[in-house]
Structures are given as C-alpha cells and as structure tokens.
Structure 1
Amino acid sequence: MSSTPNPPAVPPVRVAFASFVGTTIEWYDYILFGTASVLVLNGQFFPTLSPAAGTLASLATFSIAFVARPLGSILFGHFGDRMSRKKMLIWSLLGMGIATVLVGLLPNYDTIGIAAPLILVILRIVQGVAVGGEWGGAALMALEHAPRRKRAFFASWPQAGVPAGLLLANGAFFLVQSMPEEQFQSWGWRLPFLASAAMIAVGFYVRSKVSESPEFTEMQEAEARRARQRRVPLLEVLREHKRAVLIGTLSVCVGNTVFYLSTVFMLAHGPQDLGFDRGQILLMLMLAAALDIVSLPLVAMLGDRIGRKRLLQLGAVIGIVIGVPMFALFTTGTAWGILLATVLALPIGHAFSSAVLTSFIPGLFQTRVRYTGAGLSYQLSGIVASAPAPFIAAWLFESTGNSLAVGAYLSVVAVITLVAVSAAPAKPLDGENIENREVTDEGSRHDEQGRPGSAVSDAVDR
C-alpha cells in the first residue's frame, strides 16, 4: 500500500472557486425570495390581507424553507455520503434554479386565485430542500480537496458565496425597484427570478468540471476492500454523533442571526417602522456584502493560524459586543449610520462568526457520515436561529418600541454560541488520510469502540 496519498484531480483553488460560484448562485436564488418577500410578494400573492398581515404571510412563506432545509440535508447527505459529493451538488443546483425560475413565471393571486400562494409555498419548499443539500456538499468539496494547513481558508470560499448571493440578489432588486412602481409591481419584480436560468447554466458548467472529493474516493475504496456498505448515514449520525450535531447546530446560531437581522429584518423594519428609504438600505447592504465576500476568506486565514475553535469563540464574543451598537447606528437613519450598522453586521459580525464554520462543523464528523452530519447541523440551526430571527426582532420592537432590544437579543444568541463552541473537541476529524493510516488485517484502523476510519489528524488544528 502506498504511503503517499493520490493528488487531487484538480487544484484546490479550482475546486474552491467552483464551490464559491455554485453557492453564490444558490444563495442568490434563496435570498432573492427573502428580499421579494419584504418588497413585493405580499401584494402579489396575499392581496386580500392588510399590508402588515400580507408582509407577515410572505415572511412566513419565506421561513417555511427553513423547515425544508434539514430534509434536504438528510436527502442529499444520504446519497452524498454513499454515492457522490459532486453529483448531489449538481442536483441541488438544478433543483434550486428550476424552482426560482418558476417563481418568476408564477401567475399572481389576481390571476389564478388561491392556487397562486399555494404553488408559491411548494416552490419555496423545493428551494429549501435544494439549499439544504448545498451547504454541506459545497463545504466538503472545498475542504476535502484542500491542503491540511489551509483547510479553513479554502473551505471558506463556499461560505463567501452567501454574501455574494446577497450582493447579487439585492443588486438585482435595487435595479428593478427603481422602475416606475406600476411596472415594477406588474412584471419588473419577476426579472431577477428569470435571470436565474442563465446563472444556473454557468454554475452547472463550472461544477461539472470538478472531480470527486479525493478523501471521499479513498474512503469508498477502503470500504470496498472491506466489503462494508453504510446503509443509512442519518441513523449513524443520530446514534453516534448526537453531541456533534448539537454543538454544530448551536455554533451557527450567532452568524445566522446577525445575517438575517441585517438582511431581512432591517430591510423591512427601516422603511415600514422608521420611514427609511428602501433603496438606501439595499445599497448599504450591498456595500457591506461586498466587504463580507473579502473578509470571510481573510478571517479564515486567521483561523488556520490560531485554530478554528478559537476563532469561533472570538466571533461569538464580537457578536455579544456589537448587538446594541449595531442597532443604535441603524436607527440614526443617516446613510453613514446605516452603512456602519451593516458593516458591523456582515464583514465583522458575520465574517468572524461564520468564516470557519465550513471547516469547523465538518470536522466534528468522520468522513463516512460527514455530508449528512455537517449538513444536518447547519440546517437545524436555520430552524433554531435563522427562521425565528426576523419574527422575534419584530416582536421585540413592537413590545418595547426600541430597536436596541433587538441588539440585546443578538447578544444573548451569541452567548449561547460561545458556550456551544467552547464545548467542542480541540481537534477536528477532517484531514484523515485513508490510504496513509496504519491498517489492520481488514484494511482500516479502528477506534476504541471498534469503528473503522475515525482516526484524528494530529496536524489539522490546534
């Protein structure tokens, strides 16, 4: 047996870039719906409700995807852990793209009645399932192709696709909302959804040129030699990795909360409650998102130096500190105040709390169940933290009449994340090399419980 691992079929930079492009497109589609929920979907699909009730109904439609996302992580994770990381990413991209284009083509309530919001909900569920399978696969493709000492950096590229998708989605709506209101409400809002067709074609081409994860391929070869086939990765995750799922889920909370407070709640709260200009908030969010794209990989480089766990602890502390100042700046209503608030939220708060999640969470799981475990952890946090965030924030403002209460809410969530991350193992389980391990007669190292393939790399993290 060779003592030298087979080199990856393509350079890590190319794989990371492909993950970034695909994730950007998927999150463009996903965030596009959130932006439209605030700006236009209430009038198009819930016109019989009052403006406030219509906004809540469209936000509820937006949030239903968070329930579907864990289902997507289980479905795509099952086949991604057993068959192919690459194929599952292509299918998630196609599912998201088709659903998004269909939203752009969907007749409104005035045309087909109650069928319109019902179909809208179904398409949003499809989006949720697709994005549920996206995060884990994109993270693993970048992580498992990367050099050991630069894993946080390369794995952060798909995470940078989130603000890149935000930038494109808000940019698209920034352009079309400048149209005359009648044209915007009639057909202009559909253009960003229809534009997804061309973007999906680009993403499909880029992802089809990437080879399968070498770490996953080695694991499959090792299992073939042992004639051992995992049947249900989800059951193994729930049986042997419950603590890892809990830590992974809570570690995401502060990053997701600050992201959705700034991109959904602020966008609705500013114009509706404070009388701010909608276009100005979109522009400031776009500037902050552009900075976030750059700051995520830069912060991840720091994670490669000081350790992923330490960096996430630092990110949680930053989340505790910035909550109240962020909303104090936002409520000034000035361009500089809104810009500084969104900068605190995205390139600082989101970057430090999220840059290494794509390497930290997969590192809690062994290769054979990593797609399922990492994806499930991340998507469960969507239900726990992301989906409720705009509603809790709106309730806090209505109850107190003060936006600073929303900032305090963010600080509380950050404390929960800090506790969870502090309970994580010091070293991750990624970076293991199947072919380079000491082996037993069956061809694998076993851990203390007799399970194959759970050796921990000594040089992945501090």
Structure 2
Amino acid sequence: FSILITFAAWLIRRHLTESPVFTELKETTKDIQEEAAPLVQAVKHGWKRIALVAIMNWGPNTSSYTVQTFFVTFVTTQVVAHGTDDFFPRSTITDIQLIGAIFGIISAFTWGYISDKFGRKPIYLLIAGIGVIMPFVYFNLLNTGIVWMVALAVILGYIFAAYGNVGVQMSYFPELFGTRYRYAGVTVAREISSVIGGGFAPMICSWLLIQFGNWIPLAIYLAFTMVCTVVASWLVPETVDRDLTIVTDAVDGEARTA
C-alpha cells in the first residue's frame, strides 16, 4: 500500500505548479539563487527558529506516535477487557484505531480552519495546553477495559494529539520561516523532532512501563513533552496572513496580506 501511495504522490507532485510566492521570488531575486544551499543557510542563520519549531513539534509528535502505536500494545498486554479474564482483543483496538483516524482527519481540517479565523498561535497553544493534561485522561480511560471508553481515549488522542496540532502546523511552520530557507527550515525542524519524539516514544513508553509497572510515568513523560511545546510556542510570533515574500523569519508586527 505504501508503494501505491508513494507512486500516487509522485504523479500528483509531477503536475503541481510552484506557489505564486516562490515563482515570483525565483524570477525577480537572483541573489537567492546564487546563495549557498538552503539547508546551509537554514542551519547557519535560522538555527534558533529551527530549534523552537522542533520543540513545538516534539510534544505533538511524541503523543501522536504513542496514540497510534503504543496504545495498541498497552491495551493488548496490560488491560483486561471488561467482563472477561482476557486482555483487550487486538482486533477490537485496531478497529477503534481506524475510527480514531477518521475523526483525526476531520479534526485536522477543523483545527486548520479555526486557526485561519482566530490565529495560529492561540489555537496551537490551546491544543498543546490541552495536550498537557490529556495523557492522564487517555490512560484512565484505556485502563477501564470498557470498549466505548477505550474508543473515547483513542478518538480524543487522534483529535488532540495525532492530528490536532498538525492541522495548524501545515500553515504555521512555513509561515514562521522566511523565503530564503523556508522549506529546509521546516523539514529539518520537523524531522529532527520526529526522530527524537515519535521515533523513540513507543520504546520509551515500553521501558517506563517495564520499570514502574503502571501508566502514570508514561503520562508524565507525554505531559512533559507537551509542556515544552507550550513554552516554545509561546516564544514564537503570530503569523496568520503573514506576507510570505518576506525573506527573513517571522517576527511580531510584520506586514500582513489581508
């Protein structure tokens, strides 16, 4: 299935045109074309912004991978299904994951739309702030072994962890960088935080569970990453309707296009 999706993405991208902002800059700004590679420029001039954006993605990415992968492991090895003597059935939790993903897709569009109306920063802070307390809600619900409560935990996880911040990120992160290295800056920040966050999250959660024998340290770990995300998000400016032709990284009080 991944091969099919990759091929479809390749076909789509072959026929996509560049954004008007990029096309205009490419035609009128020869200096940018003559500079070093964008990745070099991003690391040299934008490392502070890259670090902040990476931390902004750390919490959501950690929670996202935990919801999408570790929840399955947790309920099928630690939670007894309500009214039985057996662990929660794998077939049930995977069906629940599918339902959660559908809710997550809808929530991504919804959060993105809301951020267009009320601003990137307040909505991102709102979702991240809720994300600080949600791990304790998730695991309490999962631990009941009751199907509808487990489903509620997964659905909330997809809405606030797996897809919530992502719905805002797709606009917010590119707007935080200037045109000189926008794509490189976003890519480096997201991928670094994805490795540190989501890449290790299931393993860290498993280790914590083995060491302590209960879910509380797991919830504290997830909450801590979201606290870091809240702090980083507080330090960056609002960017909704930012003029994307500005070469430098976003700051407060910049020109707006609307």
TM-score normalized by the length of structure 1: 0.50
| Alignment partners' CA distance in 1, 2:257 and 2:139 | 38
- Choose from 163, 171, 183 the match for 1:371: 183
Return the index of the structure with the highest Cα Rg: 1
Inter-CA distance 415–200: structure 2 relative to 1 (3 Å threshold): closer
| Alignment partners' CA distance in 2, 1:455 and 1:385 | 25
Is 1:426–2:238 an aligned residue pair? yes
Query: Following TM superposition, by how much is the alpha carbon of 1:354 offset from its aligned partner in structure 2, in angstroms?
Result: 2.4
Q: Which residue of 1 aligns with 2:66?
A: 261
Q: Which residue of 2 aligns with 1:400?
A: 212
Query: Following TM superposition, by how much is the alpha carbon of 1:391 offset from its aligned partner in structure 2, in angstroms?
Result: 1.3
Aligned residue for 2:140, secondary structure, equals helix
Q: Which residue of 2 aligns with 1:138?
A: none
Q: Which residue of 2 aligns with 1:454?
A: 248
Query: Following TM superposition, by how much is the alpha carbon of 1:416 offset from its aligned partner in structure 2, in angstroms?
Result: 0.6
Q: Which structure 2 residue ranges, 5 or more long, are not aligned?
A: 80-86
User: 1:291·1:347 contact (CA, 8 Å) conserved in 2?
Assistant: yes
The amino acid across from 1:238 in the alignment is V
| Alignment partners' CA distance in 1, 2:35 and 2:248 | 15
Q: Which residue of 1 aligns with 2:8?
A: 202
Inter-CA distance 425–197: structure 2 relative to 1 (3 Å threshold): closer
Q: Which residue of 1 aligns with 2:151?
A: 339
- Choose from 308, 325, 337 the match for 2:120: 308
| Alignment partners' CA distance in 1, 2:116 and 2:197 | 27
- Choose from 32, 39, 50 the match for 1:234: 39
Aligned residue for 2:23, secondary structure, equals helix
Is 1:411–2:223 an aligned residue pair? yes
User: 1:365·1:429 contact (CA, 8 Å) conserved in 2?
Assistant: no
Instruction: For residues 308-349 of structure 1, give each alpha carbon's deviation from its aligned partner in whole angstroms, at most 9, with x where no partner exists.
Output: 111111111111121111011011122112101101211133
| Alignment partners' CA distance in 1, 2:209 and 2:249 | 49
| Alignment partners' CA distance in 2, 1:331 and 1:387 | 24
| Alignment partners' CA distance in 2, 1:399 and 1:330 | 20
Query: Following TM superposition, by how much is the alpha carbon of 1:367 offset from its aligned partner in structure 2, in angstroms?
Result: 1.2
Q: Which residue of 2 aligns with 1:249?
A: 54
Instruction: For residues 363-407 of structure 1, give each alpha carbon's deviation from its aligned partner in whole angstroms, at most 9, with x where no partner exists.
Output: 221112111101000011012211121111111211221123212
The amino acid across from 1:303 in the alignment is S
The amino acid across from 2:103 in the alignment is L
Q: Which residue of 2 aligns with 1:67?
A: none
User: 1:427·1:460 contact (CA, 8 Å) conserved in 2?
Assistant: no
RMSD of aligned alpha carbons: 2.2
Query: Following TM superposition, by how much is the alpha carbon of 1:240 offset from its aligned partner in structure 2, in angstroms?
Result: 1.2
User: 1:429·1:455 contact (CA, 8 Å) conserved in 2?
Assistant: no
User: 2:132·2:227 contact (CA, 8 Å) conserved in 1?
Assistant: yes
Inter-CA distance 364–227: structure 2 relative to 1 (3 Å threshold): closer
- Map of 1:186-225 to 2, 5 A cutoff? 195-224=1-30
Q: Which structure 1 residue ranges, 5 or more long, are not aligned?
A: 1-194, 435-452
Aligned residue for 1:412, secondary structure, equals helix
Q: Which residue of 2 aligns with 1:112?
A: none
The amino acid across from 1:458 in the alignment is A
Aligned residue for 1:358, secondary structure, equals helix
Inter-CA distance 200–277: structure 2 relative to 1 (3 Å threshold): same
TM-score normalized by the length of structure 2: 0.87
| Alignment partners' CA distance in 1, 2:249 and 2:225 | 33
- RCO comparison, higher one (Cα < 8 Å, 6+): 2
User: 2:177·2:249 contact (CA, 8 Å) conserved in 1?
Assistant: no
Query: Following TM superposition, by how much is the alpha carbon of 1:287 offset from its aligned partner in structure 2, in angstroms?
Result: 0.3
- Choose from 172, 181, 200 the match for 1:388: 200
Q: Which residue of 1 aligns with 2:139?
A: 327
| Alignment partners' CA distance in 2, 1:255 and 1:354 | 8
User: 1:367·1:430 contact (CA, 8 Å) conserved in 2?
Assistant: no
Inter-CA distance 324–352: structure 2 relative to 1 (3 Å threshold): same
Inter-CA distance 196–348: structure 2 relative to 1 (3 Å threshold): closer
Query: Following TM superposition, by how much is the alpha carbon of 1:428 offset from its aligned partner in structure 2, in angstroms?
Result: 6.8
User: 1:366·1:429 contact (CA, 8 Å) conserved in 2?
Assistant: no
Q: Which residue of 2 aligns with 1:184?
A: none
Q: Which residue of 1 aligns with 2:171?
A: 359
Query: Following TM superposition, by how much is the alpha carbon of 1:210 offset from its aligned partner in structure 2, in angstroms?
Result: 1.8
Q: Which residue of 2 aligns with 1:285?
A: 97
How many residue pairs end up in the alignment? 248
- Map of 1:51-200 to 2, 5 A cutoff? 195-200=1-6
Inter-CA distance 320–198: structure 2 relative to 1 (3 Å threshold): closer
How many percent of aligned residue pairs carry the same amino acid? 25
Inter-CA distance 199–260: structure 2 relative to 1 (3 Å threshold): closer
Query: Following TM superposition, by how much is the alpha carbon of 1:455 offset from its aligned partner in structure 2, in angstroms?
Result: 8.5
User: 1:253·1:417 contact (CA, 8 Å) conserved in 2?
Assistant: yes
